[in-house]
Chain A
Amino acid sequence: MSSPNPVEALGLVKRYGSLAAVDHVDLTVERGDVYGFLGPNGAGKTTTLRMLLGLIRPDEGGARLFGRDPQHELPEALDGVAGFVETPYFYPYLSGRKNLELLAAFDRNGGEARIDELLELVDLAKRADTRVGGYSQGMRQRLGVAASLLRDPRLLLLDEPTNGLDPGGMRDMRHLVVRLSGEGITVLLSSHLLAEVEEICNRVAIIRTGRIVYEGTLADLRASARSNRYRLRTTDDTQARQVLLEHSEAHDVILGGDELTFDASESEVAAISRDLVGHGLGITALVPEELSLESLFFELTEDKPEEAA
């Protein structure tokens, strides 16, 4: 029998009054995934993560972490699970080290022995004995990662882990996530930053106003957006434009900048390329035009004019 997935959520719903903050969300995070949970602010990412961690109760649906229900099997359902929702907060009157000691004691798994190693890992060893009240947000964020790793997790749930970090801190955080993934930790990471998810995640779910509008790999998302428009560069673009205009299969031919763009099906493009060569033109580039992930993201998550009206 196969072992259960790190995260399986089915039909999660959370309502606040008449507003459905999370509306029938299904998620499946498989072992080894770095799973991006992408959506604009207020889309329902944090509420979903809170339900996964057992912090709030869903109105409908349920979730399982490694096969255990966080609503009914706490704290056992969080065995091997760690993470934070929104900015990690600590006791400001205790030092970073004392905060970790407290959490290690609450974990009851002997994590105390790893505190120094983890403080080194997140580059806080020199400030370990300073009160957290004096930490910058970036330092708290890094301490949050150390606090998560104390549990020696198999699954990390990170909510906007680069929030409040400077560009260097963001880069370091991404490298850390990639490194942890390489060590076999499954990661579910929420973000509103497409570039971040694109850089480190192999699978994504895109959420919009509480609903999942896409779940799958980024490659599939890109493929789904592939158009019939092609970009062409030749040794003589003016002459190539003439050839395309004479060619009945090429439509909407535009010469702009240092390239031509046109619409055609994949089989038609083969005929067009032969035709161009037949006219003595050298083809330096002929590629399908893809929508950028950013365009796709906005298309999936922004209100369309008729919806916004």
Chain B
Amino acid sequence: MSGALIAWRWELRKLVSQKRTYIGLGAAAFLPILFVTVMALQKGGPYDAPLGHNLRRTGLALALVLLSFVSHFGAQIAAALVAGDIVSSEHSGKTLKMILTRSLRRGQILAGKTLASFTYVLATIFVLGLAGLVAGSIAWGFNPLTNFSGARLSALHTLWLSAAALGVFSLPLIGVAAFAILLSTWTRNSAAAIVGTLVYALGQEAVAGLVHQSWAKHYLLSDQFDGWHGLFMSPVSWTPVVRAIWVSALFIAVPLAIAWAIFKRRDVADD
């Protein structure tokens, strides 16, 4: 097994042993239940949310509507909580010198940490999607969905598209996690990395609100959280999907490259 995979496997084991890991996962599992409960207690609903008009008609809409809700802040918090801590906790716990004097290279250790953070992001989105599917289907059934273009999609087709939507949504969130890893590596301080990541995510939202040229907005990370909308058009609009992929890739690659450059050369002293 390669060194990066060994580090990844052990980072996952470490995450499983820490309480903070379950905050994001627990929230992802609880949110759909809360949403359904609130909807059951009132007549109205967020019908103006993307695909919100499907709520109460099919449970398949719930996870997709929730993606729009969490795209503004919640998902970023979950990503930042783990990714912002993943390198800095080794400094604060003084364990970095222990693992750096074994037989893995620094790059392999950072790669393992990066993969573990991304795995966590994917797991959180998966839990959100699964809990949304289960809670929504119990509440409103496993029925066809009407897409943005007004076309009716079968339940099974919607299920596949939802899985793809969750994947596309994960990409900018991984971009947020990559920035958290950079801050975690650079500052060596978990609180600074987590708060800094949230400021970064909010900053992108703010800039998107200020920028008048719509073309410029399309290249901010915040805009990519809506990239999956293209999957629910007839015919499928690949432009926002493809853009979400490559813009997110840039927002992932640049912070990680900087983090690697810092981590590779950093002196490890207790400071």
Residues of chain A having any CB pair with chain B under 8 Å: 47, 50, 53-57, 74-75, 78-79, 81-94, 98, 102-103, 105-109, 147, 151
Contact = CB atoms under 8 A, between A and B. Distances in A.
Contacts of B97: 50, 53, 55, 84-85, 89
Given A55-B269, A56-B268, A106-B6, A94 B17 contact: yes
Given A55-B100, A75-B102, A94-B17, A102 B10 contact: yes
A225 B3 CA distance: 53
21 contacts: A50-B267, A55-B97, A55-B267, A55-B269, A74-B105, A75-B104, A85-B97, A86-B94, A86-B270, A87-B94, A88-B98, A89-B98, A91-B14, A102-B13, A102-B99, A103-B99, A103-B102, A106-B6, A106-B10, A108-B6, A109-B103
B7 A106 contact: yes
Contact-residue bracket for chain B: 20 to 34
Interface string B251-271: 000000000000001011110
Nearest to B271: A16
B101 interface: yes
A113 B32 CA distance: 46
Nearest to A103: B102
Given A106-B6, A106-B10, A93 B18 contact: yes
A177 B95 CA distance: 23
Given A75-B103, A78-B103, A50 B10 contact: no
Given A55-B268, A94-B14, A107-B102, 19 more contacts: A47-B269, A50-B268, A50-B269, A53-B101, A55-B97, A74-B105, A82-B101, A84-B101, A87-B94, A89-B98, A91-B95, A98-B13, A102-B13, A103-B102, A105-B9, A106-B10, A107-B103, A108-B3, A147-B98
B150 interface: no
A119 to B, nearest CB: 17
Interface in B81-127: 93-95, 97-106
A147 B98 CA distance: 9
Nearest to B94: A89
Nearest to A94: B17
B269 A56 contact: yes
Given A50-B269, A55-B269, A75-B103, A105 B98 contact: no
Nearest to A92: B93
A54 B97 CA distance: 10
A82 B103 CA distance: 10
A295 to B, nearest CB: 33
Contacts of B103: 75, 78-79, 106-109
B6 A91 contact: no
The residue among A75, A106, A107 with the most chain B CB atoms within 10 A of its own CB is A106
A92 B93 CA distance: 9
A300 B121 CA distance: 57
A105 B18 contact: no
A89 B93 contact: yes
B102 A151 contact: yes
B101 A83 contact: yes
A74 B104 CA distance: 9
Contacts of B269: 47, 50, 55-56
A86 to B, nearest CB: 7
A107 B32 CA distance: 43
B86 to A, nearest CB: 13
A56 B104 contact: no
B268 A103 contact: no
A97 B163 CA distance: 39
Given A55-B269, A56-B269, A94-B17, A89 B101 contact: no
